[in-house]
Structure 1
Amino acid sequence: MKILLTEPHPCSYLDDQEARTGFVDPDIEVTPALYEALNQLGFRRSGSHHYMPMCDQCRACLPSRIPVQAFRPSRSQKRTIKRNQDLQVRVEAATFKAESYELYERYIDQRHRDGDMFPASEKQFRGFLVEGSKQCQHIEFRYANELIAVAVTDRLATGLSAIYTFFDPAYDWRSLGTQAILTQLAIAKRMRLPYLYLGYYIEASPKMAYKGRFQPLEILQDGEWHQIITRSND
């Protein structure tokens, strides 16, 4: 399998670090079986691209997953579940909807103006969160029929893979990012899938260290999955 390696570029998560990213050759057809194999090696999907950090010196990005049956919500996570009991949750095929894009555009504009996804565009949204995999689903969260959050997730043989979540910043008090993970865990449990894959855990990055609040958490190091214990702020 051919891997294309980028030139060094500034790291998005750690200051004063250079990053390099390896991409699976886009001419290769990524079948469900190959997707699963790539996932077990630590690759992630973004649109039609499958990638993994391949930095020269740093190894801070650690693929992470939650064993669904072993997961137990913390006190604060239980409060989040209770807080959001009035939401309607619906799993839909990954298709373009104007209301979903409008929500995404508002989220990027208010939460990520300093990031490389700003400004949002319909083309970007389609390429990132609609197209790229037939295994992709959108989990919609509605309050009084208003769409307030969407969790984009892939169905794999060994679990769900959390791709991205966006929500209405006006509902910050609901902790919708946390609720999205808790809902994906509940769905995976109902489907009897063993894992929820969360992407890269980076202990030194506030943007990525939140994954350690979901226990037990497993990380991939040297080709093996290991359980880690992280400090709780509960």
Structure 2
Amino acid sequence: MRHTLPLAPQFYVTAPQPCPYLEGRMERKLFTALQGDNAERLNDALSKQGFRRSQNVLYRPSCADCAACLSARIRVADFTPSKSQKRTLRRNRALERRATSPWATEDQYDLFRRYLDSRHADGGMADMDVFEFAAMVEETPIRSRVIEYAEGDSGALTAVCLTDVLDDGLSMVYSFFEPGRPRDSLGTYIILDHIEIAREADLPYVYLGYWVPGSPKMGYKAKFSGLEVYRGGTWEPVHDPASFAADTHPLSTDPIAEQVANISLPDMRAGPYRR
């Protein structure tokens, strides 16, 4: 008997676990597999609805009584760098960008370990070994790139971002950088350069992942002009970050069945995606 993948993706919910962003709260995720000939089409469609990719899985927060995690993206046409961001661009002007296929290297892993040990030693990725790192980078069923930033004189690897190319923008899946250079604001620089890459490619958005009001780890995302977040089934501009709260409420999140019913899916019968 020949087995085939179902045309309609199947959605599942993870078990609750401690939230990595807001103390004392529990998180769970709604997720589906990303596979088959229509993987790019599904990734494009669900990214526009607040989902994120991790290897061959697409997920979105679905916490029982909290809706603080908001998918965020920058409208490239509406972005204007602040004075601080202009200084960041000047400080890092010696860095050279190079885009490669999603292939993990020893230099990347060494930088990744230094970054985790310094910034996220108690995080969920702290114990990731070289094989798990390679899987994070290389296991992608869609169009992905590794964007590296190296010193122009020495060639030393300074920052890396795993980036997906969507039909309407760039999705920054995961970035890491040299932790011993806090004054250079390398995390901010990577975002600024991705805005430039998107502008060069005539792509309207740069997807940043989740912004969590009330979480110091995520505060930097609210400093970019042209920011908008996915809330209540639509994208809305962030004019005043202080107006977004991380309060809990038992009615914050729709029931799972209702969430799945409201997801807009692409036509999975249309055949392989061609771009």
**Residues 30 and 54 of structure 1, relative CA distance in 2, 3 Å threshold:** farther
Letter in 1 for 2:175: T
Equivalent of residue 50 in structure 1, options 34, 58, 82:
58
1:37 corresponds to which residue?
45
Is 1:79–2:77 an aligned residue pair? no
User: For the residues of structure 2 that align with 1:28 and 1:61, how far apart are their CA atoms?
Assistant: 29
Name the stretch that deviates more: 23-32 or 42-51: 23-32
Greater shift in the superposed pair: 190-199 or 6-15: 6-15
The 8 Å contact of residues 109 and 120 in structure 1, kept in 2 or not, is answered as no
| Contact kept in structure 1, 2:34 and 2:141, CA below 8 Å | no
For the residue of structure 2 that corresponds to 1:69, the secondary structure is helix
Distance 1:86 1:25, change over 3 A: closer
Greater relative CO, 1 or 2 (CA 8 Å, sep 6+): 2
- The separation in 2 between residues aligned to 1:42 and 1:231, in whole angstroms, is 18
For the pair 1:9 / 2:17, whether they are aligned, the reply is yes
Q: Give the TM-score, by structure 2 length.
A: 0.80
What SS does the aligned partner of 1:169 have?
coil
Q: CA deviation at 1:17?
A: 0.8
Instruction: Give the SS at the match of 2:63.
Output: coil
The structural deviation recorded for 1:28 is: 6.5
Do the aligned partners of residues 40 and 147 (structure 1) sit closer, same or farther apart at CA in structure 2, a change above 3 Å counting? Answer: same
Cα offset, 1:97, TM superposition: 1.2
Q: How many residues align?
A: 232
Distance in 2 of aligned mates of 1:211 and 1:12: 17
Q: CA deviation at 1:121?
A: 0.6
- Larger CA deviation: 74-83 vs 104-113: 104-113
Counterpart secondary structure, 2:235: strand
- Please tell me whether the aligned partners of residues 228 and 238 of structure 2 are also in contact (alpha carbons under 8 angstroms): yes
* Contact 1:20/1:53, CA 8 A, preserved across alignment: yes
Q: Counterpart of 1:177 in structure 2: which amino acid?
A: G
Superposed CA deviations along residues 32-79 of structure 1, whole A, max 9, x for unmatched, are: 111111111111011222111111110101111100111000010000
Asked whether 1:119 is paired with 2:141, we answer no
State whether structure 2 residue 155 is matched by structure 1 residue 163.
Answer: no
Extract unaligned runs of 5+ from structure 1.
none
Q: 2:184 is matched with which residue: 148, 153, 174?
A: 174
* 1:122 to partner: Cα distance: 1.0
216-225 vs 65-74, greater mean Cα deviation: 216-225
User: Rg bigger for which structure?
Assistant: 2
TM-score by length of 1: 0.94
Identity %: 39
Contact kept in structure 1, 2:109 and 2:130, CA below 8 Å: yes
In structure 2, distance between residues paired with 1:34 and 1:50: 9
Deviation readout 1:185-211 (Å, 9 max, x if unpaired) = 000000000000111111111111211
Instruction: Please state how far the C-alpha of 1:231 moved relative to its aligned partner.
Output: 5.3
Q: Is 2:159 the counterpart of 1:145?
A: no
Q: Once the 2 structures are TM-superposed, how far is the Cα of residue 173 of structure 1 from its aligned partner?
A: 2.0
Greater shift in the superposed pair: 22-31 or 85-94: 22-31
Note closer, same or farther for the CA distance 1:55–1:85 as it changes in structure 2 (3 Å cut). Answer: same
More strand by share: 1
Q: What's the offset of the Cα at 1:26?
A: 5.9
Q: Report the alpha carbon displacement of residue 120 of structure 1 after superposing the two structures with TM.
A: 2.9
Specify the SS of the correspondent of 1:41. coil
Distance between the aligned counterparts of 2:60 and 2:104, measured in 1?
27
Structure 2, unaligned runs of 5 or more: 1-8, 243-275
